[in-house]
Amino acid sequence: MRRIVVYSAIFALIYLVLDFSYLIFIKKLPFLSALNENLPLQISMVIIFLITGFILEKSSNTDVKTEKKEESYISLQKAIISSIFSPISLDLKSQNLLQEVANTLSLEFATLLNYKKDEIINIAEISPNEHFSVSKNISLKQQGSSQLERMILDFHASSEEFSIKNFNEYSVVFSSLKPSYLTKEIGCLVLVFKKDIEIDDKIKEFIDFLSQNIEFSLSLWLKKEELSQVSSSSPVSISLPNGIEPYAKMEEVLTFETRRYKRYGAPLALLLFSVDHFENLSNIFGKEKGDLLLKEILLLVKNATRTTDIVAHWKDGIFAVVMPQNSFGDASALANKLRGLIAKRHFSNLGKVTCSFGASMLESLKDSSDLLKQRALDALNKAKSLGGDRAEIVPYSTEFESLSIR
C-alpha cells in the first residue's frame, strides 16, 4: 500500500513539471498564465501531494509503534528466559512475570494455574481490572464461583492446547502447559484482553513462547517439590550402604534411560520392593534392628544384581532397582530370584522375613518415566494386598494381565 502511494506522488510530481514546462517553454506563456491554464487539474495534483504526505507520515508513525512493540516483545522474552533460572520462589517469580506480560500486552487479567488431582491451584495472578479474580483453589467437583472459573474448568476438561473464548466485552486466551516429556497437562495460562485488541499471529506466537518457558519453569518446580516431599516424608533414616543410591540419583537415571529408550529402543524395567510388615517389625524389635535389617537386605539385593543396575532408596520404606536393557522376562526372573533369596535368608537378630515386589517396563513411545513408576508402584501395592512374599509384574500393554510370582 505504501509503495502505491509513493508511486502516485511521483507520477503527480512528474506530470506537474511536464505540464508547466510545456506551457512556459513550448507555448511561451507567462508563469501566471501557465498557472491558470489547467488550474483545476493542478489543484488536484497538489491535493494528491498533501494526501500522500499525510499517509506517509501516518505510515511512519505506525512503523515506529511497531518497532517499539517489537522491542518490548524482545525485552519481555529476555525477562522470561532469565526468570527461569531465578532463585526466587515460583509464586513470586510468576507474579513478577505476569505483571510484565500484562503491561506489554495491555491485559485486563492474567493467571497461572497448576492442575492437581482434584483441584486447580492458582499459583499467581495479576488483575489490573478489579472485576476479575480466581479462587486460590478451584475444585474439579464443583462448577466454579464465577463465569471465568467455569470457563477455566471447561478448558481443563477439554483436550485443547490453545483456545480463545469471548464473553461480554473481553476475549479470554487459554494456553495449556504440557512439557514434551509428560503425557498430560500440568496447568494452563489464562490471559484476558479487551475485545478491541486484535489477537493476531504475532501475539499468538508470543503467547506460545511464553507458555513453553513457563511450563519448563513450572515442571522444574514441581519436580523439586516432589523430591522435597519424598525426602521429608520417608521414615527411613538409615545411612544408605555403599552402592545404594538416593532417590534423586534414581530419578536422574530413569529420565536418561527413558530418553534412550525413545531414541534407540533400548529396553528399561523398574522393580520396586519393600519388607513385608516392616513397621510392625520395627515396633517389636526396635528401630536399630529394623535399620540393620534394611541394610542387610539392600546389600543382598545389590550383590544379586548386575553392575549396570541401579539399586536406590525410593520412599516410605520402598526401594528400587532400575534395570537398563532388561525386558519383561528379565524383570520377572530378577523379581523371582530376589524374592527367593530374601525368603531363605536368616537375618541377624530378626530371623526370617519376606519382601513384596512390583515391576513394570517401557513398551511404548508414548510411555514416560512417571507412568513406569506408577505402574511399578501399583504392582507392588497389589503384591502387598495379596499377602506379601510375592511379585507382581505389570507390562505396559493392556492385552497382558499382571504376572504373579510366588
Mean pLDDT by 10 residues, the chain (406 residues): 52 59 58 53 58 57 50 61 58 79 87 90 85 87 86 90 90 89 84 89 85 78 63 56 86 86 87 92 84 91 91 89 87 92 87 93 83 91 92 66 48
- Paired with 8 in beta bridges are none
User: In Å, what is the CA distance from 190 to each residue of 44, 74, 93, 104, 185?
Assistant: 53, 21, 17, 15, 14
CATH number of 86-225: 3.30.450.40
Q: Which of 184, 204, 210, 226 is nearest to 98 (CA)?
A: 210
Per-residue DSSP letter, 317: T
| pLDDT at site 399 | 40
Domain ranges across the chain: 2-68, 86-225, 235-405
| pLDDT at site 65 | 45
Rounded (5°) CA angle 242-247-253: 90
Q: Is the CB of residue 301 less than 8 Å from the CB of residue 321?
A: yes
Q: Is the CB of residue 122 less than 8 Å from the CB of residue 113?
A: yes
Q: Is the CB of residue 266 less than 8 Å from the CB of residue 257?
A: yes
Residue 286 grid cell = 526396635
| pLDDT at site 260 | 85
| pLDDT at site 142 | 83
* CATH superfamily, region 235-405: Reverse transcriptase/Diguanylate cyclase domain (3.30.70.270)
- Assign residue 317 a region: left if phi > 0, alpha if psi is -120 to 50, beta otherwise? left
| pLDDT at site 113 | 92
Residue 394 grid cell = 505389570
Q: Does residue 244 sit in helix, strand or coil?
A: coil
| Whole-angstrom distance, CA of residue 367 vs CA of residue 363 | 7
Q: Which of 181, 180, 188 is nearest to 157 (CA)?
A: 188
| Whole-angstrom distance, CA of residue 336 vs CA of residue 334 | 5
131 φ, ψ to 5°?
-75, -15
| pLDDT at site 63 | 46
Which residue type is seen at 199? Answer: I
Q: Is the CB of residue 304 less than 8 Å from the CB of residue 337?
A: yes
Residue 261 grid cell = 529408550
